[in-house]
Copies of this chain bind each other. A is one copy, B any other.
Amino acid sequence: MNIESHVIEKGMLAKSASRIMSTIPTNIKNNALLSMADALISRKQEIYDANSLDMKEGKSNGLSASLLDRLLLTEDRIKSMSQGLKEVALLDDPIGEVVRMFTRPNGLQIGQVRVPLGVIGIIYEARPNVTVDAAAICIKAGSSVILKGGKEAFNSNMKIGEIISAAAEKAGLPKGCINLIETTEREAVNKIMTLNQYIDVLIPRGGAGLINAVVNNSTVPVIETGVGNCHVFVDESADFKNAIDIIINGKTQRPAVCNALETVLVHTAIAKDFLPLLYKSLCNNSVELRGCEKTLKILPQTIKAEESDWENEFLDLILAVKIVDSLDEAMEHIYKYGTKHSEAILTKDYNNSQRFLKEVDAAAVYINASTRFTDGSEFGFGAEIGISTQKLHARGPMGIKELTSSKYIIYGNGQIR
Chain A residues within CB distance 8 Å of chain B = 19, 22-23, 102, 104, 108, 110, 112, 115, 117-118, 196, 200-201, 215-216, 219, 221-223, 239, 242, 245-246, 249-250, 253, 335, 357-359, 361-370, 372-374, 378-380, 390-393, 395-396, 405-417
Point out which of A196, A219, A362, A416 has the most chain B C-beta atoms below 10 A from its C-beta: A416
User: Could you write out 25 A-B pairs with CB less than 8 Å apart?
Assistant: A22-B359, A104-B379, A112-B396, A118-B391, A215-B219, A245-B416, A246-B416, A249-B417, A363-B408, A364-B408, A364-B410, A367-B409, A367-B411, A368-B412, A369-B411, A369-B414, A369-B415, A370-B416, A370-B417, A372-B416, A373-B417, A395-B405, A395-B406, A395-B407, A396-B407
| Nearest B residue (CB) for A249 | B416
Pick from B110, B215, B413: contact of A196, CB under 8 Å: B215
Q: How far is the CB of A342 from chain B (nearest CB, A)?
A: 9
A410 and B222 form a contact (CB under 8 A): no
Task: State whether B413 touches A368 (Cβ < 8 A).
Answer: yes
* Nearest CB in chain B to that of A250: its residue: B416
Q: A117-B392, A372-B417 are in contact. List 9 more A-B contacts (CB 8 A).
A: A19-B335, A23-B358, A23-B359, A216-B219, A361-B407, A367-B412, A369-B411, A370-B416, A391-B405
Query: How far is B107's CA from A367's CA once the two chains are assembled, in angstroms?
Result: 12
Query: How long is the Cα–Cα vector from A413 to B347 in the complex, in angstroms?
Result: 10
Q: A370-B417, A373-B108, A417-B249 are in contact. Are A390 and B221 (CB under 8 A)?
A: yes
With a cutoff of 8 Å between Cβ atoms, the chain B residues found around residue A411 in the complex are: 367-369
Which residues of chain B have C-beta atoms less than 8 A from A363's C-beta? Answer: 407-408
A378 adjacent to B104 (CB under 8 Å): yes
Residues of B within 8 Å of A112, CB to CB, are 396
Q: A110-B379, A215-B219, A359-B23 are in contact. Are A410 and B246 (CB under 8 A)?
A: no
Task: Kindly provide the distance from the CB of A194 to the nearest chain B CB, expressed in whole angstroms.
Answer: 8
Task: Report Cα–Cα, A408/B390, bound state, in Å.
Answer: 13
Question: Given that A110-B379, A239-B414, A409-B365 are contacting pairs, would A393 and B396 also be in contact in the complex, using a CB cutoff of 8 Å?
Answer: no
| In the complex, residue of chain B having the shortest beta-carbon distance to the beta carbon of A22 | B361
Which residue of B368, B374, B407 contacts A414 across the interface (Cβ within 8 Å)? B368
Q: Which of chain B's residues have a CB closer than 8 A to the CB of A118?
A: 361, 391
Residue contact A221 to B392, C-beta cutoff 8 Å = yes
Which residue of the partner chain B has the closest CB to A416? B249
Q: Which residue of B lies closest to A104 (CB)?
A: B380
Residue of B nearest to A365 (CB): B409
A196: nearest chain-B partner, CB-CB: B215
Residues A414 and B242 in contact, CB atoms below 8 Å apart: yes
Instruction: Pick the residue among B22, B115, B365, B415 that contacts A408 (CB under 8 A).
Output: B365
